[in-house]
Amino acid sequence: MSQQIVISGVGVWHPKESITNEELVSSYNAYVDSFNAQNADKIAAGECQAMPYSSAEFIEKASGIKSRYIYQKEGALDINRMKPLIAPREDDALSHQAEIAVEAAKLALASANKSAQDVDAVIVSCAYTQRAYPAIAIEVQEALNIEGFGFDMLVACSAATFGMHRAYEMLSAGNAKCVLVINPELVSPQINYTDRDSHFIFGDVATATVMEMADTATSEHVFDVLSTQAVTKFSNNIRSNFGYMTRAEDVDPYGPDKLFHQAGRKVFKEVCPMAADHIESHLSRHNLTPADVRRWWLHQANINMNTLICKRLLGREASKEEAPIVLDEYANTASAGSVIAFGLYHQDLDAGDVGILCSFGAGYSIGSLVVQKR
Residues labelled as active-site residues: 157
User: Other CB atoms closer than 10 Å to residue 284's CB: what's the count?
Assistant: 10
User: Other CB atoms closer than 10 Å to residue 238's CB: what's the count?
Assistant: 21
Cα-flanking dihedrals φ and ψ of residue 120, to 5°? -100, -25
Nearest to 28 by CA among 266, 191, 145: 191
**Range list of β-strands (E), the chain:** 5-13, 18-20, 67-69, 121-126, 149-154, 178-185, 205-213, 223-232, 238-239, 261-262, 295-298, 354-361, 365-373
User: Other CB atoms closer than 10 Å to residue 294's CB: what's the count?
Assistant: 16
Give the list of residues 6+ apart from residue 216 with CB closer than 8 angstroms, or none: 118, 177, 178
Task: Name the 3-class secondary structure at 75.
Answer: coil
212 close to 179: Cβ distance less than 8 angstroms: yes
Nearest to 203 by CA among 271, 286, 300: 300
